[in-house]
Amino acid sequence: MITKFQVAYKNLQRKRIRSLLTLIGIALSAWVLVSLLGFNQGYENALNKDIDNMGFELMIMAKGCPYEAATMMLKGGTGLKYINESIMEEIAKEPEVDKAFPMLMSAVFDPNKGESGGIAGYFGVEARSFAELKPSLKFKQGKWFTDTNAYEVVMGYEAAELEQREVGDMILMPEKNVEFKVVGVLERTGTQDDGTIFVPLKTLQKIFGRPDELTTIGIKLKKGVDSARLEEKLYKLPDVQVVSLAQVKDTIMKLISTAKVMVLSIAIIAILIAMVGVINTILMSVHERFQEIGILKTIGAMPWDIFKLIWIETLILCAIGGVLGIGLALILSKVTGILIRYVMPYAPSGGLVLIDLKLVLITLAAVLGIGLLSGLYPAWKAGRIRPLEAIRSEVGR
């Protein structure tokens, strides 16, 4: 007994190159689709992870102060505004607050950085509290500075690579002409910490002439508390703004949404092109087999049988193409991630393309659905072929 599936499958082998090209078209569009959907969920995941890694949920800074380190770097520290350290005590009293961490960001112009100089950022922290805040930070060499007044630095992985410094080396802060001793080099984290030079808070305050002043206070909340009341209260403090990292995330996601719409449009166009390709292939195949289909009807095939036969052909193409495309996407997800990182204005660390089983199944269902849709017209057309007309015709002779 020979099944309709076997007949359909063998027929696709008749014009191997044509079937293969159609298959490639479907595979490519499935690849684009699954990669982009994977990017949609991967990006958000990676961003969440980045924000979790920051270790705090709320930031407090002076009104009008840029809260993005990138912005600060671009402006060269000119946009920085300061808050008084005394505010720390008030904040620590609040019942929702687990811990508060003082931070001071500073930047100087380094004429030796890059071709025409650049901005070097310094991050003043209290070693003990900062280590508590970021337990994920690991040392490649050395350890945190112990004295908050010491002239010592801990360098992020990339900063140390760039400056070619190891533990025990000295490093000069340009503009201020102050020398520091490198006491620690961090391992790579994939976050902006990699490019940062950490300095004891008091030392940095002294060098920049801003005693008792901070740029940022990070607030870590107690587990499971609602931050709404606290945020409201903090808003009432004079000249202070509160930024929740959830807000930061929202802002980034909004920026990204435009890019998402673009990539999704590309995916839809890719799928439409593949769909037209499938319709064309199957229609041509039906046209070439006009007589043969007529003969199938004389030997007992009902219109619905022919419809199914042609539909199965479309489904086989789409199923194989879909599986190939998804396989390709899984294999190349890292490469896709790198490409996306290259074109995106901001990309969080970690894998940007996250393809899980659910996504694989959704994509496969989508490709098969599109296949069924593309097969409708050719299958309907084939089902309507009248045996007599087919036998009389000259097509295929």
Partner 1 sequence: MNQNNISIEAINLKKVYLRGSEQIPAVNDVSLRINQGDFISIIGPSGSGKTTLINLLGFLDNPTSGELRLGERSIFNHAKPLSERELTKIRREIYGYIFQNFYLIPTLTVMENVMLPLTFYRKQGTENEAAKLLKLLGMDHRKDHLPGEISGGEMQRVAIARAMVNMPEILLADEPTGNLDTKRSGEIVQVLKELNRNIGLTIIMVTHNPELARCAKRMFEMRDGKICQIACGPQDSYFNDASAGLP
Chain residues binding partner 1 by CB under 8 A are 1-4, 6-7, 10-11, 13-14, 291-292, 295-303, 305, 386-388, 391, 397
Q: Which token pair is 323?
A: 């599986």
* Nearest distance from C-beta of residue 317 to partner 1, angstroms: 16
Min dist CB 294 to partner 1, Å, is 8
Q: How far is the CB of 2 from partner 1 (least distance, A)?
A: 5
Q: Which residue number, 63 or 386, has a Cβ lying nearer to partner 1? A: 386
Q: Which amino acid appears at position 39 of this protein?
A: F
Nearer to partner 1, 341 or 392 (CB): 392
Closest distance to partner 1 from the beta carbon of 322 (Å): 24
Q: Nearer Cβ to partner 1, position 4 or 81?
A: 4
Q: How many CB atoms lie within 10 A of CB 396?
A: 12
C-beta of 71 vs 298, nearer to partner 1 = 298
Residue closer to partner 1 (CB basis): 2 or 357: 2
Residue 247: Cβ within 10 Å count = 14
What is the number of H-type helices and E-type strands within the chain? Answer: 14, 12
Q: How near is the Cβ of 23 to partner 1 at its closest, in Å?
A: 17
Of 3 and 177, which has the nearer Cβ to partner 1? 3
Chain centre distance of CA 236: 36
Closest CA to 153 of 187, 108, 203: 203
Judge contact between 322 and 379, C-beta under 8 A.
no
Taking the complex as a whole, the smallest distance from the CB of residue 282 to partner 1 amounts, in Å, to: 16
Cβ proximity to partner 1, 21 vs 391, nearer residue: 391
Smallest gap from Cβ 7 to partner 1, in A, equals 7
Q: Pick between residue 75 and residue 386 the one whose CB is nearest to partner 1.
A: 386
Residue length of the chain: 397
- In degrees and rounded to multiples of 5, residue 48 shows phi and psi of -60, -45
269 vs 395, beta carbon nearer partner 1: 395
Q: 3-state DSSP call for residue 78? A: coil
Using alpha carbons only, how large is the chain's radius of gyration in Å?
31
- Beta strand 118-125 with 216-221 is unpaired
Judging by beta carbons within 10 Å of its beta carbon (0-12, 13-18, 19+), is residue 168 exposed, middle or buried? Answer: exposed
Token pair belonging to 385: 């072929």
Contact yes or no for 207/176 (Cβ under 8 A):
yes
Query: Which residues 6+ apart lie within 8 Å of 372 measured at CB?
Result: 311, 314, 315, 318
How many C-beta atoms surround the C-beta of residue 146 within 10 A? 11
Structure tokens at 390: 């087919």
Name which of 142 and 303 has its Cβ closer to partner 1.
303
What letter would DSSP give residue 227? Answer: -
Coil, strand, or helix at residue 185?
Answer: strand
Reduced to 3 states, what is the DSSP secondary structure of residue 51? helix
Q: How far is the CB of 292 from partner 1 (least distance, A)?
A: 6
Measured from the CB of residue 383, what is the shortest distance to partner 1 in angstroms? 9
Residue identified by tokens 């595979």 is 27
Min dist. Cβ of residue 25 to partner 1 (A): 22
